[in-house]
């Protein structure tokens, strides 16, 4: 049996280097372009410098899109515009290069990695490097049963930790994090509602493929019932992920925690990664300092989670397609911030008049 204890991450995770951030701020004051004229690009560059532990900041050389894939049993209750057990189709579109995130990644110089944490499909439908980590096939209906067993939740968390280590060891210097799921926003909203102490209606959104009013009401009812099941286990993050999360959500939580341990900065996508961040924050309060919120997806659960973590979205452009797309759109701004901070010359020092 695993001895994983998420509370250990509180001691393992340190904040990005505050001294380096101050050095970056002081260097910015000396650049030829006046302070304040680059807007939020200055803030992004200082955040990245602190994460890297160096001034001037290094350009981003190996960005990586990491997408965790899974199906959620609650999708069978008609809470999504997509049919249940079809997340493998989303995976296939990324692999074939026809999805928005795949097209953009190629343009922006980022490679894409897909991790099957809990797809409900025959493994033979997808490449071995995608499916070899699968924790289980699909998840339970969170309104009536646990999404995972406790052992499966621990296995999924450990999967995320392993993937974070693999990325850090391979030289990835910035992660764009997303998910490929059907029913995932329902589970994510349940986690956010439970951790923020809100009613289901406050966190129920329309999903990546927007749903009609009747579907929204079914989704709201499912989240309401899931919240009843979540409240008794709020003090135990692993039990909470098992009760109303899923294999992808647990894996993303472990991934985020270990990225913070390994000092790997992460751009979060929508409500799924934000919900996992909220769970991770409960385990290690310094962890969100290593993350950026890539964009505002329009999901109320995401807004609640980001507010609780004090993360301000880089972009707000109405993109709700999911799959890491919104977070990936923030990558050029982070790259630009790093390039300007490293490349702009310092002002010439004038000699005093004789």
Per-residue DSSP letters for 84-126? TT-HHHHHHHHHTT-SHHHHHHHHHT-EEEEEEEE--S-GGGS
Structure tokens, 126: 């997808």
Nearest-angstrom CA–CA distance, 209 and 188: 15
Phi and psi torsions of 265, nearest 5°: -70, 145
- 165-189 as b/e: b if 16+ CB within 10 A: bebbeeebbbbbbbbbbbbbbbbbb
Q: Is 323 a catalytic site residue?
A: yes
Whole-Å CA distances, 18 to 49, 143, 314? 10, 43, 21
Are 240 and 147 a contacting pair, CB within 8 Å?
Answer: no
* 111 Ramachandran zone, left/alpha/beta (phi>0; psi -120 to 50): beta
Strands 174-182 and 63-71: parallel
* 133 Ramachandran zone, left/alpha/beta (phi>0; psi -120 to 50): alpha
Among residues 46, 77, 299, 323, which one is catalytic? Answer: 323
H-helix segments, the chain: 9-12, 18-30, 40-52, 87-95, 100-108, 128-131, 150-169, 184-196, 200-203, 213-230, 237-244, 247-261, 271-283, 300-309, 325-343
Catalytic positions, please?
A: 323
């Amino acid at each position: 049996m695993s001895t994983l204890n998420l509370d250990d991450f509180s001691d393992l995770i340190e904040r990005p280097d505050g001294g380096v951030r101050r050095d970056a701020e002081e260097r910015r004051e000396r650049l030829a372009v006046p302070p304040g004229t680059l807007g939020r690009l200055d803030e992004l560059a200082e955040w990245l410098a602190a994460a890297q532990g160096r001034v001037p900041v290094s350009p981003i050389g190996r960005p990586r899109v990491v997408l965790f894939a899974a199906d959620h049993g609650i999708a069978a209750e008609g809470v999504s515009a997509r049919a249940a057990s079809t997340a493998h189709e989303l995976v296939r579109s990324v692999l074939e290069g026809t999805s928005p995130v795949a097209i953009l990644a190629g343009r922006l110089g980022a490679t894409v990695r897909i991790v099957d944490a809990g797809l409900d499909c025959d493994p033979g439908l997808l490449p071995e490097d995608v499916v070899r980590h699968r924790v289980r096939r699909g998840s339970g209906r969170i309104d009536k049963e646990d999404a995972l067993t406790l052992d499966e939740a621990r296995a999924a968390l450990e999967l995320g930790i392993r993937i974070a280590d693999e990325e850090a060891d391979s030289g990835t210097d910035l992660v764009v994090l997303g998910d490929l799921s059907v029913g995932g926003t329902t589970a994510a909203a349940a986690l956010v509602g439970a951790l923020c102490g809100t009613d289901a209606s406050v966190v129920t959104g329309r999903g990546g493929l927007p749903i009609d009013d009747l579907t929204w009401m079914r989704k709201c009812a499912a989240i309401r019932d899931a919240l009843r099941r979540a409240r008794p286990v709020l003090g135990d993050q692993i039990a909470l992920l098992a009760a109303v999360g899923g294999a992808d959500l647990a894996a993303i939580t472990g991934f985020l925690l270990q990225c913070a341990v390994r000092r790997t900065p992460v751009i979060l996508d929508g409500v799924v990664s934000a919900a996992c961040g909220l769970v991770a924050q409960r385990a290690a309060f310094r962890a969100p300092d290593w993350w950026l919120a890539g964009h505002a997806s329009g999901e109320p659960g995401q807004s609640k989670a980001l507010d609780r973590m004090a993360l301000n979205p880089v972009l707000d452009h109405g993109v709700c397609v999911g799959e890491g797309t919104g977070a990936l759109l923030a990558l050029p701004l982070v790259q630009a911030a790093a390039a300007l901070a490293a490349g702009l010359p310092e002002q010439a020092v004038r000699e005093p008049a004789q």
